[in-house]
Amino acid sequence: MRGPTLDSVATRLTGDQLVRQVIQGSGNMPAYGKNLNPSEVSALVAFMRTLHSSTESPARDSTQPEETATEKTQAKAFAPTEKAQQ
């Protein structure tokens, strides 16, 4: 059996919805909650969030305020670097 195409999953489901989909499964997708630890689920969801064309934005939770370009830039500027964490 072949699974569904995932090339635009990030435009259809938010990060929280992707986590729920991976853990609980749905439709043709089996549940992986007992097979993956939390960091593996996070890594898989992070990868799936990249699966969209460059002209489309990932889905987002409409109940949460949208991050502005300035906030995104500030978040990157203040994110700890690998060197700082060592």
pLDDT at 37 over 90: yes
What angle do the packed helices 15-24 and 38-48 form, to 10 degrees? 130
The total of other beta-carbon atoms located within 10 Å of residue 55's CB is: 5
Give the pLDDT band of residue 68 (cuts 50, 70, 90): low
Instruction: Mention every residue, 6+ apart, whose C-beta is less than 8 A from residue 15.
Output: 45, 49, 61
Do 57 and 11 form a contact (C-beta atoms < 8 A)?
yes
- The domain 1-60 is placed in CATH, from the list 3.40.50.300, 1.10.10.60, 1.10.760.10, 3.30.70.330, at 1.10.760.10
Give the pLDDT band of residue 6 (cuts 50, 70, 90): confident
Mean pLDDT of all residues in 66-75: 52
Average of per-residue pLDDT values in the chain: 75
Residues 19-31: tens digit of each pLDDT:
999 999 887 788 9
Find how far residue 58's CA is from the centre of its chain: 9
Q: For the whole model, what pTM was predicted? A: 0.61
